[in-house]
Chain A
Amino acid sequence: MGGQLLLPDELLVMLNEKWSCREQQLRQLHALVSYNKIDTVQPKLRALAASPSTLVAYGPCATGKSRVVEAYLESHVTNRECITGRHLLERTVAAVTASLWNDKPGADQDNAYNVRCENIAALVAHLQQLLKSHDKFVLVFDGVDKQRESPPTLLPALARLGEYVPGLTTILIVQHPPPRFLHQTGVPYIHFPAYTRAQSVHILSQLPPDIFLDLPTDGTDYDAEVHAEDKAWLWPRYCAAIWDSLAQNAARDLVSFRAICIKLWRPFVAPILAGDFGTRDISRLLVAQRRLFQDETVLPDSIIASPTLAPPASQGQDKQSTPSSIHELPYYAKYLLLAAYLASFNLAKTDALYFMKSTERKRRKKGGVTARSGGRASQKRQVPRHLLGAAAFTLDRVLSILHAILPHDLRGTVDVYTLVATLTSLKLLVRGGGLGAGDALEAGGKWRVGTAVSWEYVQGLAGSVNFSLQYHVAE
């Protein structure tokens, strides 16, 4: 998290090569933070005031903020791993201590700087203590705007650290800084803009993946050198095609762009492996494989590697290889969910209309709508209820509906109540609405159906128990 500055100027050139397209940012960083070619042996000439006490690097995700800063300073940075604000402070002290040790390899680690750091004031004191003998020290907080449980004073306080600790420069890395979020003026900002099309493709083309996983060994003159040439030729063109078709709208940041390119690469080159096209036959290949560039199902991430990533030839079989045994909910669980869905999406005042046994056959499906339909349209725009969120209902209402929709009598045993609890733990029913939502024993507590219980899902349930859902749902 911290690092002392030891920056030969040639490093800049090297970094520029490694982190292409970030030249401007590197130069800015260099101007703001480095020693400016001052020889450390001559202490009189040190112009340390050249570095500002606080610096903000900002830009959207996957634009190389952390990596560039890290590479420039050779220090490691993470804020995501800190659970609380206190945790952040503790780790800051630990990182500073560790960084100081690294500079003094012979130092005895036993007399470690072993203290607690409860609040920001303590952090200032510790840093003053630790950095007494150091002229310059850079502290980097990465993703500090995403800090969990951070006190509201944290950011402004961190920005002012440099005022209390001489020689300390704080770099804050954030994604989208709100204006005046540090309550301080005159803080230099370095903007890391998103990569453009050309930049993205250029970065990706540094490391082209293989076309042939194992080179043909049957005596042809296609050796590794030709292969490297081919893939360096084909890969950037392929990446550009992916950018134009999919990524420019849906995966603009570098990481997801790269992920999609790698995901689709094997299916894309499959015809080359099969021998249908040559390696330089890009235009015909693109036309032949245009289906890949139209299929948007690859865009969302998935826990399970999705079957479409397999070579396209086996796609037909994949659909059949879904698990043959499906865990179904038990009979009453299905009915209870149906009842809960109806309770959530029907108005309570229409219950008598939809669930009284006497009106079962004579029900007018259109309800009051027919009376009004002759005139002009209603003033209030009616949104269909199944497009709205689920409404809360009391337990007794759903149990009454359950009794009403079951084709036979139900013996109200403890199993029914257990079922409610089980479905709640499965988040198919959720507690919510009304007073005492947290307490399951509260009289008149309310439930709602979970987000997973959609109209389609309920239709599936109704189909499996032969329940005519559409007669009971209010339109």
Chain B
Amino acid sequence: MEYEKVYVFQPESERPAKRRRVEPQGLQTSWRRRRQVFDRVWSGQQQAIDARLDGINASTVNKVWHFLERAVLDEQPGRIPTGIILTGADGATGPGIAKQVAERIRVGKHRRILLSLSSSSGTNLKALLKTLIVKATSRRTGSSDDEELDDEDDELRNPRSTGPKLLNYDLQLLQDHVREHRTEQVIITFEDTEAFDGDLLSEIIELLGCWQDRIPFACLFNIATSIDFLQQRLSKAAVKALAGQVFDVALSSVEVEQVCEAMFDTDTPLWLGSALMSTMLERQHDYVVSVDSFAAAMKYACMSHFYANALSVFLGLEAECHDIAADHVVAVRQLGSFKTYARRLLDDHQVAVLKEHLESDTALRLLVRDKVAKGRQKLSAMVQTLKVIRLVQQRLPHTPVSSMSSLYVQAMSGKLIGSPLIRALLLTIRKAPSNIVVTLLRDLMAFHTEKHTPTIPDCQLLLTRFEDLIESQKHSTKPLRSEDDSQNTTLRTTVVAQKVELSKQKSALSEQDKKYTELLGILTSGIEDIFASNLVNPTDLIFHEIFVYDLKSPYREVFTPRPRHAIERALATPHDYLDCDCCGSGQGDEHVEATLAATQPATAVLYQLYLESGSLINASDLWQAFQAVLGDGGEEAETMTLFQRALAELRYLGMMKSTRKRVDHVAKVMWQGL
């Protein structure tokens, strides 16, 4: 073996089999099934979300596409046709609509090259051009046959068989490529325009402008701020080289709304609770977060439910419900909502029914199946009712239309039914004139037939009565007015014994108006009934733990961690994490962080001293304080080692740095609690 430099390693046998296999036990046994359910549920939702998001910018993509098509046909000499896409801060990071444009290009009839440059493509002009040329010449999109591609691949390896060799940042390469392939347009997308260095961007635009007469360039800029800002940063010549047109994509709030609606529309078995939903929406509104992150948060919520909650196995196909393991059924009996249900049965003296559910697993399985299905129906009916609310808001004048997500959050918290919003809505209906009410009623019926939203009973009959009433009032074209409409009452001021008295006076109402008011009363109470019956509080539903997920903490821990706070806390209270005996809980529990003890890790001790000092810390003072805390027990060299290591660690964490103001001091860089 010693004289061999290299040998082939041949293992003698197979790997040893693992000695221990972890078999899932108890509630874990259903994990595989739950994952299947999750896969099925989420794939449906993901498709719905994708479809919605693709559709939302369809018109913008169309416009960009037409712009590019037109740019091929009529060229402006010396100026690059430029599409400026206002994405807003949220959309600037993603691929944006360039991806969808690329899809179009693949099927378009012109030969085009689409490539995208981001600020990381190169820090100087040379590197950027290299990237540009490599991207443009290696990949081609456009109408072509596969065979043709094979032939061209060979040529590409030796791009210039004739003529002198070119440097790899020479746009002549691209020109040759364009000429050989008869490309009609080279589209360059600048993904994060703002992140580019202003001078670099100007230079490359000027250069592209120079070559515009030989290479048919077109540019797309993703802009998060404003066009003025872009123009400020470009040189004059670069601005001259661009002939731009502005395109606007949908607001991020609209996108979030669409994702929500996609989730409501699909027949989802799992509903997200109000607390979680409002947290997610708030983050989306408050910070620069892309809509993909919102969808990811939904997926994560879904995953947490199916992976961690064993009872979610009941959300599977109904046929599979009967062979759910017995310990799951036992777990169902522990649910809070089941206990309230049992209490209600006892109150109703239905002891036999309750006994059966407590003793027979089969009966309980059936009960869970039925009640879960019913609960889900209730919730979808509730979402349909939210649509009715929005419809009513749209039809009534001077009423702001609430967003679907905010209505959902209110409804899931069970607070919508008595809310001022609903009361105000009903009052406005009561005051509405006849022309509005009739359109509202018609739309309600149309909505009912189209989307199966709940509607009032005898809707058709009510409509005919309204119409009859309007018919009977032929002599006037004015719509009928309601008695409750404040326009019909006038305030009358009378002065009696030097006191002003205000009195309300109803203006004279016709007979029809009175009848109309009566009918309006029927309509309003009908709508009120819809709301009352459908806007249930989800926590009142039995087994809501199974189909409603409302845990905020996993979401917060995963999507919004607090790294700085975690480090600060760990340094301030090391005992919480180490759980050692030495600096144990014997001292007062409240103020553990205030104590300094020699047994604590050296870094934690030094951090305490660091917090107590000002913005410039004398290293010698710090050392003396440190030595005093650690006590005289150890040797000085040992303590010094600890001190130096602790100092280095704090510096590594970015808490302090050396300063040029004073050589023997360190500067405090971080403050606590930010």
Report which of B129, B170, B194 forms a contact with A427, defined as CB distance below 8 A.
Answer: B194
Complex Cα–Cα for A329 and B285 (A): 9
Knowing A93-B164, A327-B89, A425-B119 are in contact, say whether A303-B82 is a contact too (CB < 8 A).
yes
B490 within 8 A of A: no
Distance to closest chain A CB from B320 (angstroms): 40
Binds A, one of B224-232, B330-338, B583-591: B224-232
Distance to closest chain A CB from B246 (angstroms): 6
In the complex the two chains form, is B231's CB within 8 Å of A443's CB?
Answer: no
Report which of B162, B283, B674 forms a contact with A400, defined as CB distance below 8 A.
Answer: B674
Knowing A80-B210, A304-B227, A427-B195 are in contact, say whether A331-B164 is a contact too (CB < 8 A).
no
A314 within 8 A of B: no
In the complex the two chains form, is B561's CB within 8 Å of A413's CB?
Answer: yes
In the complex the two chains form, is B230's CB within 8 Å of A303's CB?
Answer: yes
Which A residue sits closest to B283, measured CB to CB? A415
Contact with A along B233-256 (1 / 0, CB 8 A): 110100110111110101110000
B125 within 8 A of A: yes
B671 within 8 A of A: yes
A203 within 8 A of B: no
* Residues in B neighbouring A422, C-beta threshold 8 A: 89, 93, 288
Binds A, one of B444-452, B541-549, B562-570: B562-570
B166 within 8 A of A: yes
Which B residue sits closest to A101, measured CB to CB? B163
Complex Cα–Cα for A148 and B129 (A): 14
A116 within 8 A of B: yes
Contact with B along A111-144 (1 / 0, CB 8 A): 0111110000000000000000000000000000
Complex Cα–Cα for A415 and B240 (A): 39
B495 within 8 A of A: no
Knowing A301-B239, A452-B232 are in contact, say whether A114-B165 is a contact too (CB < 8 A).
yes
A394 within 8 A of B: yes
Report which of B125, B166, B286 forms a contact with A332, defined as CB distance below 8 A.
Answer: B286
Complex Cα–Cα for A44 and B560 (A): 89
B289 within 8 A of A: yes
* Residues in A neighbouring B207, C-beta threshold 8 A: 80-81, 83
Report which of B163, B210, B656 forms a contact with A81, defined as CB distance below 8 A.
Answer: B210
Which B residues from 80 to 139 make CB contacts under 8 A with A?
A: 82, 84, 86-90, 92-93, 119, 125-126, 129
Knowing A90-B166, A305-B243, A327-B87 are in contact, say whether A394-B560 is a contact too (CB < 8 A).
no
Complex Cα–Cα for A330 and B167 (A): 46
Knowing A412-B674, A413-B560, A422-B89 are in contact, say whether A428-B225 is a contact too (CB < 8 A).
yes
A302 within 8 A of B: yes
Distance to closest chain A CB from B473 (angstroms): 39
B619 within 8 A of A: no
Distance to closest chain A CB from B552 (angstroms): 12
* Residues in B neighbouring A80, C-beta threshold 8 A: 206-207, 210
Complex Cα–Cα for A26 and B45 (A): 74
Report which of A78, A112, A331, A333 forms a contact with B162, defined as CB distance below 8 A.
Answer: A112
Count of chain B residues near A, Cβ 8 A: 75
Contact with B along A204-216 (1 / 0, CB 8 A): 0000000000000
Distance to closest chain B CB from A23 (angstroms): 27
A100 within 8 A of B: no
Distance to closest chain A CB from B228 (angstroms): 8
In the complex the two chains form, is B285's CB within 8 Å of A330's CB?
Answer: yes
* Residues in A neighbouring B164, C-beta threshold 8 A: 90, 93-94, 97, 112-115
Contact with B along A404-431 (1 / 0, CB 8 A): 0000000111111111001101111000
Identify which of B164, B194, B230, B667 gathers the most chain A CB atoms within 10 Å of its CB: B164
* Residues in A neighbouring B243, C-beta threshold 8 A: 303, 305
Report which of B242, B246, B561, B655 forms a contact with A414, defined as CB distance below 8 A.
Answer: B561
**Can you sample 20 A-B contacts with CB below 8 Å?**
A83-B170, A83-B207, A90-B166, A90-B167, A97-B164, A109-B163, A110-B162, A112-B164, A303-B227, A330-B286, A333-B89, A399-B674, A412-B565, A413-B562, A414-B560, A415-B289, A419-B287, A443-B656, A443-B669, A444-B669
Which residues of chain A have a CB within 8 Å of any CB of chain B?
Answer: 78, 80-81, 83-84, 86-87, 90-91, 93-94, 97, 109-110, 112-116, 148, 301-305, 323, 325, 327-333, 394, 396, 399-400, 403, 411-419, 422-423, 425-428, 441-444, 451-452
Which residues of chain B have a CB within 8 Å of any CB of chain A?
Answer: 82, 84, 86-90, 92-93, 119, 125-126, 129, 162-167, 169-171, 192, 194-195, 203, 206-207, 210-211, 224-227, 229-234, 236, 239-240, 242-246, 248, 250-252, 283, 285-289, 560-565, 651, 654-657, 667, 669-671, 673-674
**Which 8 A/B pairs are nearest by Cβ-Cβ distance?**
A327-B88, A443-B654, A413-B560, A303-B244, A399-B674, A444-B669, A425-B195, A415-B287
